[in-house]
């Protein structure tokens, strides 16, 4: 396969097809949003204008709902390095390997795969006392997925107060 590079502003994504870029990366990195327009609008407000540095590159990542939810759960009373380590450990134990040149990375595991983990297995991955609650949350999310289908789609349509109660 040829070495493909797709470039958007300062972001270069290697070894992907145009279709992969359009259908995944463009959405994931929120490249459809015109942030310059948002900056211009925010800069019209004197207070906000002072808070926004020049050439402020902001990109929001549209992370998968399950990955976001579980990462937030893991982050309770943890520091960034510990959160990162636990997420990497969980990914290595239950995610799929992704080869990139001479390195191997791991995807974040799917809800179905995480559902197979026991509380004790989660504990050994560094979750400690959070393992019990996380296992219960995973079980509940699996049940909800059976009822509502894609949870990311489902929660994106909810009002904040309903979502807060639902979670």
Contact present, 73 and 130 (Cβ < 8 Å): yes
Residue 2 pLDDT exceeds 50: no
Say what the pLDDT of residue 138 is.
Answer: 95
Spatial distance between the Cα atoms of 163 and 151, rounded to a whole number of angstroms: 11
* Identity of the highest mean pLDDT range in 24-33, 60-69, 93-102: 93-102
Spatial distance between the Cα atoms of 147 and 159, rounded to a whole number of angstroms: 19
CA 121 to chain centre: 23
Spatial distance between the Cα atoms of 112 and 37, rounded to a whole number of angstroms: 40
Average pLDDT in the chain: 83
pTM above 0.85, yes or no: no
Q: Of 12-21, 26-35, 41-50, 54-63, which gets the smallest average pLDDT?
A: 54-63
Say what the pLDDT of residue 55 is.
Answer: 60
Q: Which two tokens stand for residue 137?
A: 């949350």
Residues in the chain: 167
Segment 86-99 shows an average pLDDT of 94
**Closest CA relative to residue 69, chosen from 109, 29, 32:** 109
Residue 94 or residue 128, greater confidence: 94
**Closest CA relative to residue 73, chosen from 162, 27, 137:** 137
CB-count burial class (<10 Å; 0-12, 13-18, 19+) for 127:
buried
């Amino acid at each position: 396969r040829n070495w493909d590079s797709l470039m958007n502003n300062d972001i270069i994504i290697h070894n992907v097809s145009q279709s992969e870029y359009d259908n995944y990366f463009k959405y994931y990195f929120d490249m459809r949003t015109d942030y310059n327009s948002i900056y211009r609008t925010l800069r019209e407000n004197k207070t906000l204008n002072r808070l926004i540095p020049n050439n402020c590159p902001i990109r929001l990542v549209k992370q998968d709902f399950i990955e976001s939810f579980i990462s937030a759960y893991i982050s309770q009373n943890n520091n960034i390095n510990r959160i990162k380590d636990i997420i990497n450990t969980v990914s290595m134990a239950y995610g799929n390997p992704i080869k990139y040149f001479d390195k191997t990375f791991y995807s974040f595991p799917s809800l179905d795969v995480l559902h197979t983990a026991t509380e004790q297995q989660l504990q050994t991955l560094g979750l400690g006392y959070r393992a019990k609650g996380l296992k219960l949350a995973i079980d509940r999310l699996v049940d909800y997925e059976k009822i509502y289908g894609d949870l990311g789609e489902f929660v994106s349509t909810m009002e904040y107060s309903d979502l807060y109660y639902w979670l």
